Structure formats: structure tokens, C-alpha cells
Homo-oligomer: A and B are copies of this chain.
């Protein structure tokens, strides 16, 4: 069965039924079916909102990813943005553009993945849009809430801050390259958005700046530094990598350090904390996940100052 055999309103009804099965209605006043969804934050909270699109042949290929995994991923990468703000999810919107010839079973699986991922992170599907297009794209918008004045911003790093990350780096890039070399199976990775860690960091006295790492550790560090008007002294050897990573890279002839620093799609949090904040072991307990210190925030040098790396350190 193809989408064209279903029609717009039955399609919306179909998605709405799947969404209702997954609904957690803590923050949902009104879900799919009206002109807008209604969500409720707690008193004293601001609303955080972000959107991201996955486009066929740009961000995914049907032959290299399971449709259900695609649906999960589409939501997870957006939730990672909420995590980087320290926000908790209230709900999400799904704007689908797809050719009329798309198989209904494929869309059903995408929606199933989206709803399942939403259930996992208390982020119900509350609205969206469906339209015809030449290529498939999934545009997800997530709405969240965060206590006023506690949101984690990119522009809050200060010289003297310790620079930290959650989790490990390079695994996603390694899996992607392995699959592209034809040595791996279809992509099965769904990033784990660090929602609990972000929320805990937002509550922490001594939190600095925060960003989630999607473009690669060095690239997103650059975004954080630019927004904050500072530089960083980074110890690349400290960037945590998965177990067995060096050996796996060697088998494929890949440089493990480059992959960890530039690979991208890690969806870990990169953040700074003030000098007086708890030490790394205590931070890891508070955030509920592995935390590693990888450098320090330093003052920005003047325009034109050399960006040369000191021994063992890369400067930005």
C-alpha cells in the first residue's frame, strides 16, 4: 500500500492513533487533531523549542537504515538539543513530506519509532503536518520547559571554567564509516539524548556553558567558544573513546584521534563548570553518566593571534 492510496486525513488519523497509544499526558492539554497542540509548563518555567530535519539522500538512505530506527533517530537528535539547554520535554511535532509512492508500511514504522522514542523520554507526539513532496523529509520540532534563568546556554563559558564531556566520542562516526565501507550492517544506532544529565547540570550551582556535540567535538567546541567570546586549552588525549576503539580504527586504517575529535553525531554534552563546582567523580554522580574533564576555558587572545597548538594541547 502506498501513501497515495490513503489520503491526507486518514493518514493524519493513522498517525494520531499511533500517537495516542504512546501518549504520556503530563504536559499535554490537547494533542493531535486541532489547529494547534496545547502544552503546559510548570510555574516559573520558560519554553524551549528547537527543530531539525532529516532529508532522504542527505541525512539518510532507506536502504541503509531501518524505518523504525529512522523515526527514533529523528526525535532523539532533537531531544539532544533540549538536553543541551537543560530542558525537559513537553511534546513534539512531526512534519512529514513524502512522495505519494512511499510505502505506508515504511511510514508506519517511522511513526512507531518516533512514538516509542517519545515514550522513552516522556515526549509525546502532539501534532504535525503531512504533505506531498518529491523526496521524503522528516522535520521534528520539540517543545520543552526549563526553570527560568537556569537554561544552559552556549554563551556562558568563562576563563577558568573546567571543560567537560559526558560519555565517549567516535563510536557513531566509526559505525557510519564501517557501514559505508560495506563491512557493517544497516545503521542501528539511536543516540541517547542526555536529558537527565542536562537537567541535572541546569540545577547545578557552578554550571557554565553547554552544547550538544552533533557536528563533531572540535566543531561544536568552536561554536561554544565563539558564543562565549573565549578560547579553550584542550587536551585531545583526554577525550574519552569507546572500549576497543583504537583496535577497531586500526582494522579500517582510520585515525582514532581524528575520528573522536571530528567524527560527529556523538550527541554527548560538552559543557563548562566554574572552578568551584564539584570534582569530576561528584559531577558524574550528579549527572548520572560518565563525565570526563578534557581541558580548560582560557581568555580569548587578540584577533590575529596564532592558533598554534602547544605540546599536547590544541588551542582555538
Residues of A at under 8 Å CB distance from B? 29-30, 33-41, 43, 46-53, 55, 57-59, 81-82, 84-85, 87, 90-91, 93, 95, 97, 126-129, 131-135, 137, 139, 141-144, 146, 148, 151, 153-155, 211-212, 227
With A and B bound together, what is the CA distance between A46 and B39 in angstroms?
A: 6
Closest Cβ neighbor of A27 among chain B residues: B47
Chain B residue contacts of A87, Cβ below 8 A: 36
**Complex contact B144–A36 (CB within 8 A):** yes
With A and B bound together, what is the CA distance between A85 and B50 in angstroms?
A: 22
Q: Shortest distance in angstroms between A97's beta carbon and chain B's nearest beta carbon? A: 6
Chain copies in complex: 2
User: Among the listed B43, B46, B81, which residue makes an inter-chain contact with A35, where contact means beta carbons less than 8 Å apart?
Assistant: B81
User: Among the listed B51, B91, B133, B227, which residue makes an inter-chain contact with A137, where contact means beta carbons less than 8 Å apart?
Assistant: B133
| Chain A interface main SS type | strand
In the assembled complex, 11 residue pairs joining A and B whose CB atoms fall closer than 8 Å, in A order, are: A35-B82, A35-B85, A35-B212, A38-B146, A49-B91, A49-B143, A51-B139, A52-B129, A55-B133, A129-B139, A137-B137
Q: Shortest distance in angstroms between A101's beta carbon and chain B's nearest beta carbon? A: 14
**Complex contact A131–B53 (CB within 8 A):** yes
**Complex contact A34–B139 (CB within 8 A):** no
**Complex contact A82–B36 (CB within 8 A):** yes
Chain B residue contacts of A212, Cβ below 8 A: 35
Chain B residue contacts of A49, Cβ below 8 A: 36-37, 39, 49, 91, 93, 126-127, 141, 143
